[in-house]
Amino acid sequence: MIKNKKILIVGAGGFIGGHLTKRLLNDGNFIVATDIKPREYWFQEFENVENHHSMDMKDIYNCRKVTKNIDYVFNMACNMGGMGFIENNKAECMQSVLINTNLLISCKENGIKRYFFSSSACAYNKNKQQEVFIEGLKESDAYPADPEDGYGWEKLFSERMCRHFMEDYGLEVRVARYHNVYGPFGTFDGGREKAPAAISRKISNAKIKKQDTIEVWGDGEQTRSFLYIDDCIEGTLKLFHSNHREPLNIGSDEQVSINQLIDITEKISGIKVKRKYLLDKPKGVRGRSSNNEKLKEVLNWNYTIKLEEGMKKTYDWIYENLTKPNLATEKFIKADIKK
């Protein structure tokens, strides 16, 4: 457990950043939280935190300002979303390299003890992801390099930047490659949501509006593995504490097709829906899953929350927000504050 430290969380207004802020705050740390989003768009906000709303961390001046007198830095910030956003906003995604680069420079200048970078499974070679139900991707599968265009290249480049700051300047860096993290307090509409949230929203709306059909991007046979947010936070902190200096998968190896994910959500919701497949929509790679052999070896840990359990929590939260319009604002802002 990290305790009694002054910790900077960049991207704290986002999904994973908000959950990480809550955990580290509850563990007895002082948190400095930054995000480019204005306050009303933060997914979670907490009292007893030094919050910096609408702060653009692509600006090195801001990075230098908030890294002063800090012990640890968690960089959870990037411009990203679901596959539709990633495929249509490559230049925007690439600009996140400025956040990581300027943070690393500032951490070197201000003597930061340890730095965490949140990478992604999108950094993996696309040629290894052309079939459904592929073998889980090992950390070595990132090279030879051919990641997702835009977002994936940004992540892979930033991983290398972290490595060289560790080699050249002695900054202790930890890098996690996240695999499709989902759960409550995340985006579930607007185009940036991932498949678990999108499907939960579509089936919730079908139930609320008594509709019998939902739209599915692609043929529904593409496969993924999904990691519940609580496991993500636990794995992140275990990696941060560890002596492992190479990028590490933080993901689930419970690989399912999108059609199977819909089946699971139908069971949770208590309704059945017809599926209208939109074959012209962005689909991403054909199959992707995490190989957790190294995760278990170096951290002596593995995820614990199975997909159906996590999807129930996610679906219930989204359904509740859709059926009680005023609840969304209340639950996005100042969620579960412990004074």
Q: What angle, rounded to 10 degrees, do the helices at 307-323 and 258-269 form?
A: 60
Residue 151: active-site member? yes
> Which DSSP symbol is given to 333?
S
Q: Among 75, 74, 76, 97, which Cα is nearest to 16's?
A: 76
Q: Which of 151, 178, 303, 319 is catalytic?
A: 151
Beta strands 274-278 and 227-228, pairing class: unpaired
**How big is the chain, counted in residues?**
339
Contact 265, 203 (CB under 8 A): yes
What are the beta bridge partners of residue 178?
Answer: 120, 250
Contact 315, 263 (CB under 8 A): no
Beta strands 223-225 and 255-257, pairing class: antiparallel
Taking the C-alpha atoms of residue 54 and residue 212, their distance in angstroms, rounded to an integer, is 41
Q: CB-based contacts of 58: which residues, under 8 Å, 6+ apart?
A: 95, 96, 98, 99, 102
Q: Among 254, 4, 264, which Cα is nearest to 133's?
A: 254
Exposed, middle or buried, 99 (CB in 10 Å: 0-12/13-18/19+)? buried
Position of tokens 């560790």?
A: 166
**Which residues are the active-site residues?**
151
